[in-house]
Amino acid sequence: MKKAILVICFAILVILSPFSPTLANLTNQENNHIAIFEISILPDLIKIKSNLQEKIYVWFRDQGITTGSKIKNIIYSPIITIGKTPFSLATLIKFLITLVIGLYVLKWVKRRFEQILSNRSPELYSRFISLITLGYYLGIFIVFIIALSVIGVDISQITIILGALGVGIGFGLQTIANNFISGIILLSERAIKVGDIVEVGGNLTGEIKRINMRSTVIRTYDGLDVIVPNAEFISNRVTTWTYDDDWRRLHIPFGVAYGSDPQQVAKVAYEVAQETPLTSEDKQHKTKVLFTGFGDSSLDFSLIVWCRMHRLRKSTKELISDYYFNLYQKLSEAGIEIPFPQRDIHIRSLSDQIQKKLKESFKPK
């Protein structure tokens, strides 16, 4: 503080007497004293700075060690003990890492196989996709067992877990277990495959797009994706159009007016079947025209044709509609009348007044 006051005083003297050599000499001497003082205290400052840095380092080191030990205690302290195996947060992290890596590898392998099969042939894809899906879920079970063994769980203790799961299934997971087991049956038996055209419950028709462990996805002809529980395919009757082959027979009933030649009608209907692109025919699947009976106002016929469902991808109503369009056109060109319902009314008795009015209305004017 004294040094600072002296410096200020000498500065004032220098300003007031700039031409005074004595003052100038005194100023120079004072400046030299200040410089010597600063140089003399510099080692002390450096020493203080080093001590302060050392204290800060020691404090942070001690805090880091304390915090690290606390985190270590939290991670490795047992949370729960099952049997003789303690479970900590580190155990849980190790289990999750093993499970995530295993599932990622399984999904990558599954996608790779699906891409290879779909690029080669759709038939090959639909044939093996069920086996790939079954193998994928089996792989999930194996990965789960490996993850348990990594964290030190005795495999023999898994029976305890399975027993607990059995109790849970018995109380609240019956439907899920039923669908899951049904999915295993569908994937192993391969009674239905991806790409098959099926009818479930009498009101749902479409193509199977995917078979999972719990449910099956069906794409209807209206473009809707319907998720059906797998138990529906096991417990209910399922109609499949493509089980052994994709041949499907269609019955197209129609009628013509009385007085029409049945042979000509059969010939025209057969020509319609041959000219319609939907029709497929071979030695075992022949087109037929049946005379089915005498209706109230028509001669009844039925055109029976075969179609290949994998080529068409149409509903039954759409297929029959195409044949009706062609039938109407061909019958009209051949001059064959298509009847409409008619009723004959026979009057047995009328009052005299009504008879008189009827006679008057029919008299020529």
Together in a domain, 25 and 48: yes
Together in a domain, 43 and 103: no
Together in a domain, 315 and 258: yes
Q: Do the Cβ atoms of 296 and 341 come closer than 8 Å?
A: yes
pLDDT of 183 reads 80
- Choose between 93 and 244: higher pLDDT: 93
Question: Residue 95 belongs to a domain with what CATH number?
Answer: 1.10.287
pLDDT of 269 reads 93
DSSP string, 136-171: HHHHHHHHHHHHHHHTT--GGGHHHHHHHHHHHHHH
Together in a domain, 265 and 324: yes
Angle between helices 122-150 and 174-189 (to 10 degrees): 130
Does any domain span residue 273?
yes
Report the distance separating Cα 233 and Cα 212, nearest Å. Answer: 13
Together in a domain, 266 and 314: yes
Query: 23-32, 130-139, 284-293: which range is least confident on average?
Result: 23-32
Together in a domain, 42 and 118: no
- Choose between 156 and 250: higher pLDDT: 250
Q: Given a cut of 60, is residue 11 above it in pLDDT?
A: no
Domain final residue pick, 139, 172, 205: 172
Q: What does the mean pLDDT of the chain come to?
A: 75
Does any domain span residue 129?
yes
Q: Given a cut of 60, is residue 279 above it in pLDDT?
A: yes
HEC sequence for 35-88? HHHHHHHHHHHHHHHHHHHHHHHHHHHHHHHHHHHHHHHHHHCEEEEECCEEEE
Does any domain span residue 359?
no
Q: Given a cut of 80, is residue 103 above it in pLDDT?
A: yes
Q: Given a cut of 60, is residue 362 above it in pLDDT?
A: yes
Does any domain span residue 18?
yes
Together in a domain, 168 and 206: no
Domain final residue pick, 172, 207, 231: 172
Together in a domain, 257 and 312: yes
Q: Given a cut of 60, is residue 214 above it in pLDDT?
A: yes
Does any domain span residue 147?
yes
Does any domain span residue 64?
no
Together in a domain, 206 and 146: no
pLDDT per position as a tens digit, 220-245:
888 888 999 888 888 888 888 777 77
pLDDT of 10 reads 42
Question: Residue 226 belongs to a domain with what CATH number?
Answer: 2.30.30.60
Burial 27-64 (b: 16+ CB within 10 A, else e): beebeeeeeeeeeeeeeeeeeeeeeeeeeeeeeeeeee
pLDDT per position as a tens digit, 39-52:
555 565 565 656 66
Together in a domain, 39 and 116: no
pLDDT of 24 reads 41
Together in a domain, 95 and 167: yes
- Choose between 83 and 290: higher pLDDT: 290
Taking residues 142-169, report their average pLDDT. 71
Tokens of 261: 């030649």
In the chain, the DSSP E strands lie at 78-82, 85-88, 197-200, 204-211, 215-220, 225-229, 238-240, 247-256, 288-294, 299-308
How many domains, the chain?
Answer: 4
Question: Residue 302 belongs to a domain with what CATH number?
Answer: 3.30.70.100
pTM of the model: 0.53
Number of Cα atoms under 13 Å in the Cβ half of residue 299 = 16
Taking residues 21-26, report their average pLDDT. 42
Neighbours of 299 (CB within 10 A): 21
pLDDT > 70: percent of the chain: 64
Report the distance separating Cα 337 and Cα 261, nearest Å. Answer: 11
pLDDT per position as a tens digit, 283-312:
888 899 999 999 888 899 999 999 887 766
Together in a domain, 223 and 261: no
pLDDT of 191 reads 79
Q: Given a cut of 70, is residue 151 above it in pLDDT?
A: yes
Taking residues 58-75, report their average pLDDT. 64
Does any domain span residue 81?
no
Neighbours of 291 (CB within 10 A): 13
The residue segments making up the domain with residue 224 are: 189-240
Does any domain span residue 365?
no
Predicted confidence band at 36 (pLDDT cuts at 50, 70, 90)? low
